[in-house]
Amino acid sequence: MAAVEGIPCLYMRAGTSKGAFFLASDLPADPEERDNLLLRIMGTPDPRQIDGLGGADPLTSKVAVIAPSPDNGADVNYLFLQVGVDSAFVTDRQNCGNILAGVGPFAVERGLIQAGNEQTEVRIRMVNTDSNATARFATPDGVVDYNGGLAIDGVPGTAGAIQLDFEGTAGSSTGALFPSGNVLDRVDGVDVTCVDNGMPTVLIRAADLGLRGDESPADLESDGGLGDRLRGVRVEAAKMMGLGDVTDTTVPKLVLLSPPRAGGAIATRSFLPVRVHTSIGVLGALTVGAGLLAEGSIGYGLAVLPSPGSPLGIEHPTGHFDVDVAVDSSPDGFIVTRSAALRTARKIFDGRVFPRPRL
């Protein structure tokens, strides 16, 4: 039936990513059926995703599934699904803070929440990591205003600001901010910091791999030797993070760190984990930020830290991303006291999507 009539879908650019947003009630309740449908909607598996909505890149092959939240502390539940490009997988093992930027506006567009006359606040339960975020954005006369003056690197032009404030991101996938129990480990002959402030990540000094750290994503992706080396480090580090066998998963991410070059705190290159990010994820940047602030970590000595309370400039291949992260040390170790960032989003189309038939 759905294949004939199409499925209601809002297609949005959210942060530096792009994805298809659905009401949970418009998708099959059975996860296997749902994922099969999403593969056919996105055009996966196919390196060009020519027969679907996917944009032939992990950053544009993303899905958000949103429902009213049964939880008193949240307005909506947000489930993020990463859809493979050339391989047929759909995974809920990672969260996505860029796609999160579209969730509040989607909730207003679909009438899940009553918009305020000037501004709307949406409390979002991030189902993948069992943690919360609050989105605040302009809704003059109760309508989402996607336009505005905020530029984010990696997206041309400007758009309306969406303020994202996070709670409970530290250890949300692994149980601890530093899931190996240390701020510095040695894995497969290289020093690493394993950190999780919403996105399990392995931080590595670019120089330790013979890199400058400002190489282009294309150059890094085409370096087969580097790919093999990173794969080995990632699989070993993941075991120390309690993530088990991660050979076929998208977490943990790997981030190469080098000294800042453009006035920020640190320069980064993020592996997703195979393709290299053209900017950096939101939770990825918040995780790098928390990692840098812990004395003794791999990034601590490399970073040029701003005065406490000032944003941390995370440099990436297409500019920089200012994140607001604060970390305190306590007798029990480091604790994250603030994680916040600004993003923008834009509604591209609202309509019905027609999945290709089962192959």
CB of 358 to ligand NQM, least distance (A): 27
187: left (phi over 0), alpha (psi -120 to 50) or beta: beta
Contact 102, 55 (CB under 8 A): no
Closest CA to 239 of 202, 190, 206, 205: 202
Sign of the alpha-carbon dihedral angle for 298, 302, 307, 311: negative
- For the CB of residue 251, give the shortest distance to ligand NQM in the complex, in Å: 8
Quick one: 120 or 268, whose CB is closer to ligand NQM? 268
Closest to ligand NQM by CB, 52 vs 154, is 154
State the residue number with the nearest CB to ligand NQM: 281
E strand intervals along 34-127: 62-68, 76-83, 90-91, 119-126
Q: Is 63 or 112 the residue whose CB approaches ligand NQM more closely? A: 63
Best CA proximity match to 55, nearest among 44, 64, 66: 44
Which CB atom, from 138 or from 155, has the smaller least distance to ligand NQM?
155
Residue 176 to residues 2, 40, 160, 243: CA-CA distances in angstroms? 42, 37, 34, 12
Smallest distance, ligand NQM to C-beta of residue 285, A: 7
Alpha-carbon distance 144 to 77, whole Å?
A: 19
Residue 70 Cβ vs ligand NQM, minimum distance, rounded to whole Å: 24
Rounded to a whole number of angstroms, the minimum distance from the CB of residue 59 to ligand NQM is: 5
Q: How far apart are CA 15 and CA 152, in angstroms?
A: 8
DSSP for 152-181, please give it: -TTSSS-B--EEEEEES-BTTTTSSSSTTS
Minimum distance from residue 82 beta carbon to ligand NQM (Å): 6
Q: Which is nearer to ligand NQM, 231 or 354 (CB)?
A: 231
CB of 17 to ligand NQM, least distance (A): 4
| Residues lying near ligand NQM in the complex (CB under 6 A) | 16-17, 58-59, 96-98, 199, 250, 253, 272, 281-284
Q: Decide whether 163 or 250 has the Cβ nearer to ligand NQM.
A: 250
Which of 115, 217 has the CB closer to ligand NQM? 217
Residue 115 or 266: the one with the smaller Cβ distance to ligand NQM is 266
CA nearest to 135, candidates 158, 167, 91, 157: 167
Task: Give least dist CB 14 to ligand NQM, A.
Answer: 8
DSSP string spanning 190-215? Answer: EEEEEEEBSSEEEEEEGGGGT--S--
Centre a 10 Å sphere on the Cβ of residue 229 and count the other Cβ atoms it contains.
Answer: 17
Cα–Cα distance, 353 to 10 (Å, whole number): 9
Secondary structure class of 13 (helix, strand, coil):
strand
| Least distance from ligand NQM to the Cβ atom of residue 2, Å | 27
Angle at 68 between CA 63 and CA 74, to 5 degrees: 100
Nearer to ligand NQM, 159 or 283 (CB): 283
